[in-house]
Amino acid sequence: MNLVLRGGTVLTMDPELGEFDRADVHLADGRIVAVGPGLSVPEASIVDVTGSVVLPGFVETHWHLWNTLLRGAPGGYFAACAGLGRSLTPDDIHRGTSLSCAQALRCGMTFVHDWCHNVRSPAHARAALGALAESGLRGRFSYGYGVGHRNDEPMDLVDLARLAGDWTHDRISLGMAWRGQGGSDPAVRVPPEVYRREAATARGLGLPISVHASGPRSARGQIAGLADLLGPDTQIVHADNASDAELRLLAETGAVVSLSPVSEMRIGYGFPRTRELLDAGIPVGLSTDTTMLTGKADPFATMKTLLGVANAAAGDEAALTPRRVLELATVEGARTMGLGRVTGSLRPGKHADVTVIALGDWPGDPAEFLVTAAQPADVRLTLVGGVTRYRHPGRPAGSAAVQGRDHGAQ
Ligand SMILES: [Zn+2]
């Protein structure tokens, strides 16, 4: 592919490259080649994106993709997962994961972290992984355990090692979805010999690990309980009830955090401690978590909620800015996934993971628009590695049809 996105408002999310009221983005061979006004690329196809924002695709950092199939199930999140999750076949897992991937691309995500906590058999793991790979998204598949897995038994570490030994893929990497001492479900208490063995196995395989630290306030102390196991390869999910000492621990060990404010509040975990995490220098990414709680994949709702809660907590309209929230949703999210050099900004050399979002008649700051006013229906194009994976069924982008070969900049 050799493509120029012509005439959009461009937010590169790269501090050196900055933003352009009107510029072009040249993509070729799956990579970003150049960003700037009036690019002349004689052999490239042109997509007119006038009236749209061009920015890196959203980086989603923790999502249980399989359970989108269970949206609307009655009985509360954990009970519904435990009740229905046990009966799902590999084909069901494939369908649920595929549905989530379609939602992701439709709302401008180009990367997802599949936190798969219903690996009921090796076939279930491969069904989820297959759906993720087939979607065209970039992603991490974190191999977990099955719903209802016994607390005193490790996950299937033999199969994980087998998979990790065989796995080579240009877009999808592997990780471990780790229960830690119990994670998000207060009913789960994993003994040290089990959770330590699991973490050691992941590290022996060179896989990053991700663990929930959440649940009601009574479940405090989960991060401190894992103190000697934290490191730069560790992602903590939620951390809403982390103490100040635990935040210092995260900063010292280099662990990163994924926040999913919509699900965290919906289920009653509490409020994200966004300002405190950022002030402590802890890298933060944003996430969907589960559409059973959020209703849908919607990075715009995630960003807007995060902004509102942080500023409400601070009593300050400017405590967190839309531009900073947009960084968390893109370039900083990529950094938390270990992909800071690969995706998350429109820097030449990175993969061409790009989304195009219609600005409509918005008169002001595009970052303000994206965080407070935009919605998934405004997404016009999603490209992963330069391949168009979603195109709005109405008008693709701006006036936005492919308009043939470039004949030089106007
Ligand atoms: Zn989760």
234 C-alpha to ligand 1 centroid (Å): 15
Identify the band that residue 186 occupies on the pLDDT scale cut at 50, 70 and 90: low
135 C-alpha to ligand 1 centroid (Å): 21
What's the pLDDT at 103?
Answer: 98
203 C-alpha to ligand 1 centroid (Å): 21
Average pLDDT score over residue span 283-301: 97
Identify the band that residue 399 occupies on the pLDDT scale cut at 50, 70 and 90: very low
- Work out the percent of the chain whose per-residue pLDDT is above 70: 93
285 C-alpha to ligand 1 centroid (Å): 13
pLDDT digits (tens, 9 = 90+) for 190-208: 999 999 999 999 999 999 9
Helices 157-166/122-135 angle, 10° precision:
40
Average pLDDT, the chain: 93
Average pLDDT score over residue span 39-48: 95
- Work out the percent of the chain whose per-residue pLDDT is above 90: 88
Identify the band that residue 394 occupies on the pLDDT scale cut at 50, 70 and 90: confident
Query: Half-sphere exposure (CA, 13 Å, Cβ side) for 25?
Result: 37
Average pLDDT score over residue span 323-345: 98
312 C-alpha to ligand 1 centroid (Å): 24
Average pLDDT score over residue span 292-301: 97
What's the pLDDT at 395?
Answer: 63
Please say whether the beta carbons of 293 and 263 come within 8 A.
Answer: yes
Please say whether the beta carbons of 163 and 202 come within 8 A.
Answer: no
Identify the band that residue 220 occupies on the pLDDT scale cut at 50, 70 and 90: confident
Identify the band that residue 409 occupies on the pLDDT scale cut at 50, 70 and 90: very low
Query: Half-sphere exposure (CA, 13 Å, Cβ side) for 334?
Result: 24
Alpha helix positions (H), 49-207: 77-85, 90-106, 122-135, 157-166, 192-204
401 C-alpha to ligand 1 centroid (Å): 39
Q: Helix (H, G, I), strand (E, B), or coil: what is residue 28?
A: strand
Pairing between β-strand 256-259 and β-strand 234-238 as defined by DSSP bridges? parallel
Is the predicted pLDDT of residue 397 greater than 90, yes or no?
Answer: no
